């Protein structure tokens, strides 16, 4: 099996496995959140805030808290309406991918099922989005579980046999870590105050953390 790592990540991987391999992630036991990790959903939210509320200077960097009502200078009803629009079928289709998502997930999806656990209530539109993004991956290898509640993620992940999870929501990261999961935090403005986790800004940074050797043996 060829992992497809670029030279930089091959060197990082080589140095990693020559030393302590305990932190390497078995890709068969890895899962991902979607919004804020694979899908840059808040890019659409920010775009709508600018258009609908006239806040032309608003950017994702203003989203320094996970609670949007603390970040957007607008009535709660207006913020909720924009969030609902962001998650609608129409706008979900327009969401750009997070850095490295297509490349890294495309590689993984050739060898293992891609498992996604989202707090969205309805998974259909984001499932379709993933299938378009990962058009080279067998659709049967793209598995989405919608919990409707981030607090349920631990139970779902445990039943799936998942040990490692990539997440952006601070409270979920902390909760999963307390329950024994290996959590990688995907860097976003709303989680930069959260410490104690491996942090990545691009899913390509995850490649050197994956134990590709288990796929070579499979």
Q: How far apart are CA 170 and CA 147, in angstroms?
A: 17
The catalytic residue among 20, 23, 26, 33 is 33
Q: How far apart are CA 4 and CA 6, in angstroms?
A: 6
211 flagged as catalytic: no
The catalytic residue among 35, 40, 168, 211 is 35
96 close to 82: Cβ distance less than 8 angstroms: no
33 flagged as catalytic: yes
Q: How many residues does the chain have?
A: 218
Q: How far apart are CA 65 and CA 78, in angstroms?
A: 18
b/e sequence 30-55, b meaning 16+ C-beta within 10 Å: bbbbbbbbbbbbbbbbbbbbeeebee
Catalytic sites, residue numbers: 33, 35
């Amino acid at each position: 099996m060829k992992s497809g790592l670029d030279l930089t990540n091959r060197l990082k991987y080589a140095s990693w496995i020559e030393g302590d391999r305990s932190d390497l992630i078995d890709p068969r036991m890895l899962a991902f959140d979607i919004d804020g990790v694979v899908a840059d959903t808040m890019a659409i939210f920010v775009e709508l805030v600018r258009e609908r509320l006239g806040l032309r200077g608003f950017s994702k960097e203003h989203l320094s808290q996970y609670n949007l009502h603390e970040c957007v200078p607008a009535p709660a009803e207006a913020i909720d309406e924009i969030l609902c629009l962001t998650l609608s079928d129409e706008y979900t289709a327009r969401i750009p991918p997070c850095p490295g998502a297509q490349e890294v997930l495309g590689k993984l999806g050739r060898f293992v099922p891609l498992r996604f656990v989202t707090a969205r209530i309805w998974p259909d539109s984001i499932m379709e989005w993933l299938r378009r993004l990962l058009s080279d991956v067998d659709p049967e290898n793209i598995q989405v579980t919608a919990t409707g509640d981030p607090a349920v993620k631990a139970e779902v992940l445990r039943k799936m046999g998942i040990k490692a999870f990539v997440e952006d929501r601070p409270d979920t990261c902390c909760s999963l870590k307390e329950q024994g999961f290996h959590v990688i935090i995907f860097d976003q403005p709303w989680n930069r105050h959260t410490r104690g986790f491996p942090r990545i800004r691009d899913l390509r940074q995850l490649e050197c953390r994956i134990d590709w050797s288990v796929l070579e043996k499979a």
